[in-house]
Structure formats: C-alpha cells, structure tokens
Structure 1
C-alpha cells in the first residue's frame, strides 16, 4: 500500500512540475499586458532558469527587453527564438525593429547563389523538422510501394509507382537538407555584443592594437577562442579578437 501511495505522489508531483512553467508563463504574460515589464522579465527568466527552451519564451523575453530599451538582450533573445524556430515571422519582424536601435552600420558581403538558397530554403526550417519530414516521407514511400505491389490495374500501378518515386525523392532531399542545416548550426557560432563599446584587437592580448570597435546589439560569428578571448568576424568580413566578457553566445 505504501508503494502505491508513493507512486501516486510521484505522478502528482511530476504533474505539478509540468504545469508550473505554464502557470509562470501565463503570469508573465499578464504582467507584460499590464506594462509591468520588470516583473514580467523576472518571471520569464525564472522559466528559462529551469532549463526550458521555447521559441515563444525567447520571443517574449525579446519583447520585454525591447520595451525596457535594452537593445542587446532584445536582439539576443529574438535570435534565440529564430534559432529554435526559423519560421517565427513575429520574431524576425521584431528583430528588424530592434536592430534599428543599434549603432553599428555594417555592410554585408554579397552572398553566393548557394548561400542565398541555404538561407531562404534550407535554414527556413530547423534540422529536426527536416528530419521529421524525411521520416514521414519514408513511411509514405513504403506504404505507396505496398499499394503498387498489390494493386491490379495498370493505371493504379503507374500512379503508385510514380508517387513512390516522388516520396523517395522528398525523403532524400529532406535528409540532405537536415544534414546541411545541422552542419551550418554547428559551424556558425553566433554571438551578440553586450558591451556598450567593445574594442576589437588584432591579437588576443589587452596590449594589442585596436583594429575597429563594435557596440551593443551587433551580431558576430565566433571563429576561434583562446583563454578569455574570442576571435570574431562581422558581416563585412572584418576579423579581430574580443574579450569574452563583452559578448554572449547564442
């Protein structure tokens, strides 16, 4: 009997724990609607501290920081929301507004056709979504092949054969896109400058020469790291070293 009671209590506690983030999220949303942004921020951050990840949570954190006129955290969380869900149009729209608050004006290098295709097609969905599409397509291809094998009419066989080939094609393309997306995410370590003004050096030492400077909210790519320094590249191709206390990796 004691074991039964313990099991029931365990399930009840697990259920209460799973509901807690939802209640906190609703509470934070209420504070946000009431324009009590400081309290909303505290509750949203409490949810994040539980180790939970959500594009909606990061989107709301970005909105809250934007309302508090904190440009770097706002951009940071909009970028995190888009990393989890590249199709989050609201996050992309608000990110564009938040970037207008930044000081640095950096002209991006022109992209190749393959780079534009990757951004506009492959990276529009997370790699796990592409993997899910591949799994669904593989099951569909198997089912259609069975229909082709057991069907009697010539027209039906032709229809099932063609649709099977198409499903296999979708599966292969989705697997390729999933791997490409995963490699892109792993290779591109992106960070946001949090320092009001950051001096970018030509070497990972405090006494080295400053090559350019960046300001809060600017997005950079991390190329390498040494001790408490990170080698970064910005959109126009410039490269330099920055103290890791002045930026935050997404």
Structure 2
C-alpha cells in the first residue's frame, strides 16, 4: 500500500517530465521545418515550467536569430551561457548575433588577473566550482587516510604531499565558488530591447542625453531608482535608462 501511494505521488512528476520532453522535441521539429514563431511558443511553454537548460535558451536564441530579432537572440544566447559557460555553440552564435548590432563598444583594457578570470575561472559556474571543491575534499581525505595507514616511507611522503596539495586546491576552488556566487548576485547585466534608446545623465525624463544605444547592446546594471536603471558600458560610459527599455539577464 505504501509503495502504491509513493508511486501515485511520483506520477505527476513523471508526467510533467514527459510533457516537457515532448514539447522540446516538437519545438525542435518545428525549428527544422522553419516554423520559428511556433517553435518559440513551445520553448516559452517549457520556460514557464522552470525546467530550463542551456540547450533550451540556445534553441530559443536560434529561433529569434532566424527571425532577425537581434535583442531576443542575444539575450537568450547570454542566458544559455549563464547556465553553461562551456556551451561552445552558444558562444559562436552569440558572436554572429553581435555583428547585427549597430553599437560598436570597445572594452576597457583588462588587467592580467581580469584576463585570467575571464579566460579560465568564468568557464565554470559557481555550482560547477562547488563540485570541484567537493571532489578535492574527497581526494584530500582519501590521500590523508592512505598517508596515515601506509608504512612505506616513500609512499607515505607521496600521500602526505598529495593530500596537502588537494587541500590547497580545495581552499582555492571554495574561494572561487564563493566569489563567483557573490558576483552572480551583485553583478547584473542586461540587454537593450528597444530599437533605439536615449541614455540620460540622471534618472529623469528632462535630464540631458549623454549617448544613444541600440537594440542588442549589453550593459551592466549598477543601480535602480524608481523605474530607472543606472547602467555602465564595457568602455566605461555611465548613464540612466528606463527599466522598460532593457531586459536583465537574471
């Protein structure tokens, strides 16, 4: 009786998973047939279930790209990379999508540490770095036990050094995981969705225009005042934009 009750509880979960899988397959088939708008509708239905993945946003971005909708395609490629920074297809297609934007924003030169962070550390999410930390914790514990129970001097020395290195790597990966988590919560980026946006020097309609951005431009969100967002570009320019004119990559 208990087993039957347990199966009945799990049945809606299995049914939901099956429905999502069916939606994903149907959406992929519509994409192959060139019915991009209908495919988008199905991908959006999957998104409402919260069972999202890098592949979902990648496919959604491809649909928008085929429809020449610059901002939604860039937004969803960014979402795909947020969930999986190692998604090479999303990285490549994002580069193509950015060529469709009108703004050419030159980045401020990065320091050596910033380059290391971008090239290596950001290749994994904070969750993936946490998994790395767990792996090193098991390795450190196992190697210490081998050191403790081994009587051979050479092996004892090897296991001791290896356990110390594993412990150090554990601390490093834990630190990186925490920093990446903190950055993900504090550093918010957004995509300009309006065709053309006037960036102001203050969060009011009658303030002066400092520069103009077009759809698809990526900005960093620094602050919020009422329905205004303070943004910063990769080249260091700062201004205010209406919140309705951008979409935050959450």
TM-score band w.r.t. shorter chain: over 0.9
Q: Deviation of residue 4 (structure 1)?
A: 6.9
- TM-score of the pair, normalised by structure 2: 0.96
| Residues 99-146 of structure 1, C-alpha deviations (whole Å, 9 max, x = no match) | 000000111111111111111121110011111111111111111111
Question: Which residue pairs with 1:218 in the alignment?
Answer: 217
Structure 1 position 206 matched with structure 2 position 205:
yes
Q: Distance in 2 between matches of 1:202 and 1:13?
A: 52
- TM-score of the pair, normalised by structure 1: 0.96
| Residues 143-194 of structure 1, C-alpha deviations (whole Å, 9 max, x = no match) | 1111111112111111211211221121111111112212222221100000
Question: Which residue pairs with 1:73 in the alignment?
Answer: 72
SS in 2 for 1:75: helix
Question: Which residue pairs with 1:151 in the alignment?
Answer: 150
Question: Which residue pairs with 2:29 in the alignment?
Answer: 30
Q: Distance in 1 between matches of 2:17 and 2:115?
A: 40
What are the residue-to-residue correspondences of 1:167-178 with 2, within 5 Å?
A: 167-178=166-177
Q: Deviation of residue 74 (structure 1)?
A: 0.3
Q: Distance in 2 between matches of 1:246 and 1:91?
A: 24
Q: Deviation of residue 7 (structure 1)?
A: 4.6
Q: Distance in 1 between matches of 2:182 and 2:6?
A: 43
Q: Distance in 1 between matches of 2:124 and 2:3?
A: 45
What are the residue-to-residue correspondences of 1:1-250 with 2, within 5 Å?
A: 7-250=6-249
CA contact (8 A) 1:122 1:180 kept: no
Q: Distance in 1 between matches of 2:107 and 2:195?
A: 22
| Residues 76-107 of structure 1, C-alpha deviations (whole Å, 9 max, x = no match) | 00001111111111111100000000000111
Q: Gaps (5+ residues) in structure 1?
A: none
Q: Distance in 2 between matches of 1:89 and 1:103?
A: 24
Q: Give the direction of change, closer, same or farther, for the CA distance of 1:127–1:4 in structure 2 (3 Å limit).
A: closer
SS in 2 for 1:102: coil
SS in 2 for 1:190: strand
CA-atom RMSD in angstroms: 1.4
Q: Distance in 2 between matches of 1:179 and 1:11?
A: 34
Number of residue-to-residue matches in the alignment: 249
Q: Gaps (5+ residues) in structure 2?
A: none
Q: Deviation of residue 8 (structure 1)?
A: 3.7
| Residues 32-91 of structure 1, C-alpha deviations (whole Å, 9 max, x = no match) | 111111111110011001122211111111111101110000000000111111111111
